[in-house]
Amino acid sequence: MLTIGTLAKKTGTKVQTIRYYEQIGLLPEPGRSSGGQRRYGDAELDRLSFVRHARQLGFSLEAIRELLDLSDHPDKSCAEADAIARRQLKQVEQRIARLEALQTELKRMVHECSGGHTADCRVLEVLRDHSECLTNHEEIGG
């Protein structure tokens, strides 16, 4: 039986995060000690490891919820899990493309900056005038 702190260490998760996952129903309510402290077994360790690993791969908690559900039903078709992973891959590819456009623009800004006063700083100039940009970077975020 593991305490929450031990589980946290084993999975590289913060204690609060584990309680948060329980709260939103991603992890089941564990057993308790006589004094009311959470006690975990191996099943919970595996489940939390799964969650953490999926998070590291960028899956949203909602996606992870679906993946866990699939994982709990070995007879279901694999297609759904596959679709979720493909969706995630697509998102990652889109983000890479977007970030690469930003990278290009930022590099250009930085390289053109000659180091004088802000009055004629290229960085600020480009920010002031979008038409100086080569790429379309409409969507926000990144």
Partner DNA sequence: ATACGACCTCCAGCTACTGTAGGTTCAAGA
Partner DNA sequence: TCTTGAACCTACAGTAGCTGGAGGTCGTAT
> What are the angstrom distances between the C-alpha of 96 and each of 1, 21, 36, 56?
42, 29, 46, 16
- Residue 60: what are its φ and ψ, rounded to 5°? -75, 160
Bridge-based pairing of strands 38-39 and 31-32 is antiparallel
130 binds, among a copy of itself, DNA, none (CB under 5 to 8 A by kind): a copy of itself
Minimal distance, residue 50 CB to DNA, in Å: 13
> What's the one-letter identity of residue 9?
K
> What are the angstrom distances between the C-alpha of 84 and each of 33, 57, 66, 91?
37, 12, 8, 11
Applying the rule CB under 8 A, the residues between 84 and 103 that interact with a copy of itself are 84-86, 88-89, 92-93, 95-96, 99-100, 102-103
String marking each residue 35-54 x if it binds a copy of itself according to CB under 8 A: -----------x--xx-xxx
The neighbour count for residue 11, using CB atoms within 10 Å, is 20
Residue among 19 and 107 whose Cβ is closer to DNA: 19
**Under the criterion CB under 7 A, does residue 98 sit at the interface with DNA?**
no
Minimal distance, residue 13 CB to DNA, in Å: 7
CA distance 7 to 42: 10
Chain residues in the site for a copy of itself (CB under 8 A): 12, 46, 49-50, 52-58, 67, 70-71, 73-82, 84-86, 88-89, 92-93, 95-96, 99-100, 102-103, 105-107, 109-110, 113-121, 123-124, 127-128, 130, 137-142
